[in-house]
Amino acid sequence: RRGGCGLRGSLLPSLLELAHATSQNLGFAHRDDVHVSYGEETITETNLLELRRRHPAIITLNTFGKKKEAKNGADWEWHIIGRHRTFRMRVQAKRLQKDDKLKIPHKVKSSGDQQIDLLIKDAKANRLKPVYCLYSAERQRDHWKKENVGGGYEAFEAGCLLAHAQTVKAMMPKTLADIETDCVPWHYLVERRDYAQRSLTDVLDVDGSILRFMVSSADLRVATGSDRSRDSAAAGGFPTLDELYAPDRPDREIEGLVEVDEPEFEGRGSEAEYRERGISRLIKIDVREFPERPEPKGQADE
């Protein structure tokens, strides 16, 4: 069956495709014969804009004018709004350099504080989960590399990985290998499986010098026989869409999870407040209408 029907089914391919495109574009930008900067700002803005364009009914995207240097470490704030609770993150984007280095330490000139400390402090003050979104090329990953699927299917590349900022601070990774098993692909916010799809080359369409994202057929199947999320403690730190929808709160504590009826969070967050806090983007994904679960064709080895 096709997995493109329903809210969950339409959002899942978008997150998969954009992570795949991020990985491919970053790998292309790292080539010696390509002299184009593909920085964190460009990647973030492209991905968030594309999510908004594809899903205008459920996604809102606000941008705020920012000062030369933000007061905290966040690139954007991300809310996933469920029927009973909302998951709220403060996200700092980092890309791997061409030499595979991951540059986490960054001193904010205005305060002398480390960017990661400001990110964590601000997130704690506002009951948000502090998260790093790590952009990488396929050759720079080991744990989250795509599988050899076959049968006319190709696995997606996991170019956008999420890691808890506290874990990043504790480990201070210099390469992705130092922290990769503590990360999860960002599509795990929708479904905690790895997927493959037919004709992945259609995700990116190059016409001369113009690169366009393409909405694909969403003909998905599970890419691996094992679910890598089961042995990943990082996955447990993020809620599933079902947990945002279900009446009962999850048994485990999830940082950034807020009940929708908490008056503290009703009507808060003016543009002036976000600008004062140094937030440049706010993305909200409304999943209050229960999304259908996609039914991919099955395991790759079937």
Is residue 202 pLDDT above 60, yes or no? no
pTM tops 0.75: yes
Q: Is the pLDDT of residue 76 over 60?
A: yes
Q: How confident is the model over 75-98, as a mean pLDDT? A: 94
- Centroid of chain to Cα 1: 26
* pLDDT for residue 200 is more than 60: no
Calpha distance 268→284 (Å, rounded): 14
- Percent of the chain having pLDDT more than 70? 77
Residue 298 lies in a domain: no
Condensed to tens digits (0 to 9), the pLDDT of residues 132-187 reads 999 999 999 999 998 888 888 889 999 999 999 999 999 999 999 999 999 999 99
Is 300 contained in some domain?
no
- According to the model, what pLDDT value does residue 292 have? 54
The set of residues, in sequence order, having a beta carbon less than 8 Å from that of 112 and lying 6+ positions away, is none
Residue 294 domain flag? no
Local confidence band at 75 (pLDDT 50, 70, 90 cut-offs): confident
Whether residue 68 has pLDDT greater than 60: no
Domains: count for the chain: 1
Domain that holds residue 91: 6-286
**292 is a domain residue:** no
CA neighbor of 74 nearest in space, from 94, 95, 91: 91
Cα–Cα distances (Å) from 90 to 51, 80, 204, 210, 228, in that order, read: 18, 12, 29, 32, 25
Average pLDDT value over all residues in the chain: 82
